């Protein structure tokens, strides 16, 4: 297991390094000059040149890349071109909105999708099993921003149960108000995510329910619940774990849509503002943090699979994997 973790960690670092290079190159290929954000309309060539020198965009690309990666190794994301404020603390502040939103939506989706997916598989010949499958198919086609606007109209504007958007200025200093502000976004993301997860859980459960080992366990006198717990749960969870990792990463990356609908000051809104202002340090910082989070989620999903799947665990014990 130690050898696998070492190889997987090396792959993680290699992937992060390649992503850093690609991010830097693609960002420099975008049209527009970041110096324009510091100059007024009709600025002279001398003023634009001075602005480019101030932010370092006039230096050769290899020098810019070396400077940026050196900052990253020190845990420094640089200063914003527009506000001149450090990007790192701003990202940390924005994460206090994005991370709770993503984690709560993911947890709620799992709590809904796992039992619903199993019921849809186990009771697939009943009306409610068919209904669950149909609802999950319909939910996949619903855009998250459309569902968010519907929930705002119904639960915020008409029922007045939740605020329609925004986040407390003091953040989590008032936990109750912060939770109320995130309630609708969490429900919106969880409903869309659970619709997709129900399909995967149902498919995995169907494979287990039709397996020979489950029938053998039942034939030897085991109860259905006991056979599922001892033999079915781990086998069904292996493919679902991969999907959970993908869904969690997608939710984190897709936060920009939800945060725009609910006017939340998270990473998504920070990235949107940075792009509109050609603020390279902000864009690079947000995308680097997002990329790192996605890679860590994939790393964790792979490791959990090795612990859960008896076949992979056996391969690890024998040194084959």
pLDDT tens column, 58-116:
778 888 888 888 888 888 888 888 788 888 889 998 888 888 988 898 899 889 888 88
31 and 108 belong to one structural domain: no
Of the candidates 43, 73, 103, which is a domain's last residue? 73
Domain presence at residue 81: no
Of the candidates 73, 101, 132, which is a domain's last residue? 73
Q: How buried is residue 219: exposed, middle or buried, by Cβ count under 10 Å (0-12/13-18/19+)?
A: exposed
What local confidence, expressed as pLDDT, does residue 84 receive? 80
- The tally of domains found in the chain comes to 2
Inter-residue contact 309 to 301 (CB < 8 Å): no
Domain presence at residue 8: yes
CATH number at residue 127: 1.10.3720.10
Domain presence at residue 82: no
Domain extent for 212: 87-317
228 and 298 belong to one structural domain: yes
Of the candidates 17, 45, 73, which is a domain's last residue? 73
62 and 193 belong to one structural domain: no
Domain presence at residue 79: no
Return the SS3 of 125.
coil
What local confidence, expressed as pLDDT, does residue 318 receive? 45
What local confidence, expressed as pLDDT, does residue 14 receive? 92
Residues of the chain with pLDDT under 70: 1, 32-33, 35-43, 210-215, 217-218, 221-235, 309-321
Q: What is the rounded (10 degree) CA torsion for 261, 262, 266, 269?
A: 40
68 and 104 belong to one structural domain: no
Return the SS3 of 33.
coil
Inter-residue contact 67 to 56 (CB < 8 Å): yes
Instruction: Quote the DSSP letter at residue 210.
Output: T
29 and 153 belong to one structural domain: no
Domain presence at residue 68: yes
Q: Which two tokens stand for residue 62?
A: 């290899």
The residue assigned the tokens 């050196």 is 70
202 and 260 belong to one structural domain: yes
Inter-residue contact 240 to 194 (CB < 8 Å): no
15 and 111 belong to one structural domain: no
Domain presence at residue 80: no
144 and 259 belong to one structural domain: yes
Inter-residue contact 155 to 161 (CB < 8 Å): yes
Residue 208 makes CB contacts below 8 A (sequence gap 6+) with 214, 228, 231, 232, 235, 236
What Å distances lie between residue 321 and 12, 235, 263, 310, CA to CA?
17, 19, 46, 13
What local confidence, expressed as pLDDT, does residue 316 receive? 45
113 and 61 belong to one structural domain: no
Nearest Cα neighbor of 192 from 149, 141, 243, 154 is 141
137 and 265 belong to one structural domain: yes
190 and 251 belong to one structural domain: yes
228 and 95 belong to one structural domain: yes
Domain presence at residue 78: no
Domain presence at residue 287: yes
What local confidence, expressed as pLDDT, does residue 160 receive? 81
Radius of gyration of the chain (CA): 24
């Amino acid at each position: 297991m130690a050898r696998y973790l070492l190889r997987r960690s090396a792959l993680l670092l290699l992937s992060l390094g390649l992503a850093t290079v690609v991010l830097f190159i693609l960002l420099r290929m975008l049209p527009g000059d970041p110096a324009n954000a510091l100059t007024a309309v009709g600025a002279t060539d001398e003023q634009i040149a001075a602005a480019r020198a101030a932010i370092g965009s006039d230096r050769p690309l290899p020098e810019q890349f070396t400077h940026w990666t050196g900052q990253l190794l020190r845990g420094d994301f640089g200063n914003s071109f527009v506000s001149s404020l450090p990007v790192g603390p701003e990202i940390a502040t924005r994460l206090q909105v994005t991370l709770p939103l993503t984690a709560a939506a993911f947890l709620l989706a799992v709590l809904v999708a796992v039992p619903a997916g199993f019921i849809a598989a186990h009771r697939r010949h009943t009306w409610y099993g068919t209904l669950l499958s149909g609802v999950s198919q319909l939910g996949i086609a619903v855009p998250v921003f459309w569902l968010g606007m519907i929930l705002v109209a119904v639960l915020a504007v008409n029922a007045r149960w939740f605020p329609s958007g925004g986040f407390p200025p003091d953040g989590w200093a008032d936990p109750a108000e912060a939770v109320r502000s995130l309630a609708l976004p969490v429900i919106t993301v969880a409903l869309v995510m659970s619709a997709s997860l129900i399909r995967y859980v149902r498919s995995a459960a169907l494979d287990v329910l039709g397996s020979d080992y489950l029938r053998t366990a039942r034939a030897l006198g085991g109860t259905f619940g006991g056979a599922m717990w001892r033999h079915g749960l781990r086998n069904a969870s292996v493919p679902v774990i991969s999907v959970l990792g993908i869904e969690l990463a997608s939710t984190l990356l897709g936060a920009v849509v939800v945060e725009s609908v609910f006017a939340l000051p998270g990473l998504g809104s920070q990235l949107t503002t940075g792009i509109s202002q050609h603020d390279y340090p902000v864009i690079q910082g947000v995308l680097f943090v997002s990329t790192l989070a996605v890679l860590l989620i994939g790393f964790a999903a792979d490791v959990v699979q090795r612990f859960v799947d008896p076949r992979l665990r056996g391969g690890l014990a024998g040194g084959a994997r």
